[in-house]
Structure 1
Amino acid sequence: LNLIENIKHNLNYLTISIHDNNGHNSIILQKLGKIIPLKLEYLHLYLYYIKAYDFEVFLKSSQDTFTKKLLISNITKGQDILPSIKTYIMKKRRVKYLAINGALFRSEFVSDELFSLEDEVKEFMLYDIKVKSYYGLAINMDDFMKEVI
């Protein structure tokens, strides 16, 4: 987190990936919103388990941030964060493209992608937010590195 804070003026793309349940998800979500830049091209949160409270803290503390592409993925069944996304992202038009993948909802859907839920996609469209396929929006790091180098 210190690195992010130190380079935030030059930061356009950020991926945070946590693959285990050692409490880091909560710490990152509770502190990240305070230090990310006001504008990001790409923010990818790939987390092991998302607690609704921690996610809401992140959204509240980053409410002045606009992110062009926001991707959220959860490895295990987390808590329902869709209401927070609607309140703090959708209604405030804080993203242009949104992709959510994984067990992020309390109830079980046929698919784990927000993109597959037609009524939800239509609701986001009312706020000029395009819901995309997670894998279609995610940056392939190998391809990205080839472009940069």
Structure 2
Amino acid sequence: MDRSSILQIDLLILLLQKSDLQGFDDKNIFSALNLIENIQQNLNYLSICLSKFGLYQSDNLSSLILQNLGQILPNRLEYLSLDLKININDLKVFFNNSQNVFIRRFLIREKTHQDSEIILSCIKQYVMKEKRVAYLATDSIPIGSNDVEEFKVHGIQVMRYDQLHIQVYDFINELS
């Protein structure tokens, strides 16, 4: 790992330590979105998981993230993981706003499993047909289903969530 990568990791760790993530709500989430936008050119990995901070049931916070994230992402991401309470209309806004973004590994989790067929249909429309993803993990697609084969025909490999999910310590080890 070169000195620049180490400095970026140190900066990220410092920013995370100084950020009160448990204090994020629909009033100050824009600070986090501004941070993402400001580091956009150096951003390759992004994971947004509201459930770890007791915010999973926040419909408004998830909506704000989905409605505003797509347009601030770089043109290419190595990894994007979204663990949110998903409203299908907000997901469509996200996909429309990120239509020029290629995501190598895309993970999307909706833990309440509400409307999983609708979410799957949306993913097919915006991800599969546009070929914007190489690897996909979502709870909406049971492994071994016909949907997995359908994605495969379009060049997208569907994997289990835990196969694609990167823990922070795994990410740092991957860089070194």
* TM-score w.r.t. length of structure 2: 0.73
Percent identity reads 44
Name the structure 2 match of 1:68.
Answer: 104
Equivalent of residue 28 in structure 1, options 50, 59, 65: 65
More helix by share: 2
Count of aligned pairs between the two proteins: 137
- Are the equivalent residues in 2 in contact too, given 1:45–1:72 (CA < 8 A)? yes
**Larger radius of gyration between Structure 1 and Structure 2:** 2
| 3-state SS in 2 of match to 1:128 | coil
Q: Does 1:84 find its partner at 2:111?
A: no
Alignment of 1:118 onto 2:145: yes
Residues 48 and 82, structure 2, Cα contact 8 Å, conserved in 1: yes
Look up the equivalent residue of 2:154 and give its one-letter code. Answer: Y
One-letter code aligned to 1:38: N
Higher relative contact order (CA 8 A, sep 6+): 1
1:16 partnered with 2:48: yes
> Which amino acid is the alignment partner of residue 86 of structure 1?
K
Amino acid across the alignment from 2:63: S
| Contact in 1 for aligned 2:143/2:159 (Cα 8 Å) | no
Q: Point out where structure 1 has 5 or more consecutive residues left out of the alignment.
A: 105-113
CA apart distance, 1:144: 2.0
Higher strand share: 1
Q: 1:38 aligns with which of 70, 75, 79?
A: 75
Letter in 2 for 1:82: L
Distance 2:46 2:160 in 1: 19
Name which of structure 1's ranges 71-80 and 60-69 shifts more when overlaid on structure 2.
71-80
Which runs of no fewer than 5 residues in structure 2 stay unpaired?
1-32
Query: Which one-letter code corresponds to 2:167 in the other structure?
Result: N
CA contact (8 A) 1:44 1:71 kept: yes
Q: CA RMSD in A?
A: 1.5
Residues in 2 aligned to 1:144 and 1:31: alpha-carbon distance in whole angstroms: 25
SS in 2 for 1:92: coil
Higher mean Cα deviation, 8-17 or 76-85?
Answer: 76-85
Moved over 3 A (4+): 146-149
Contact 1:93 1:129 in 2 (8 A): yes
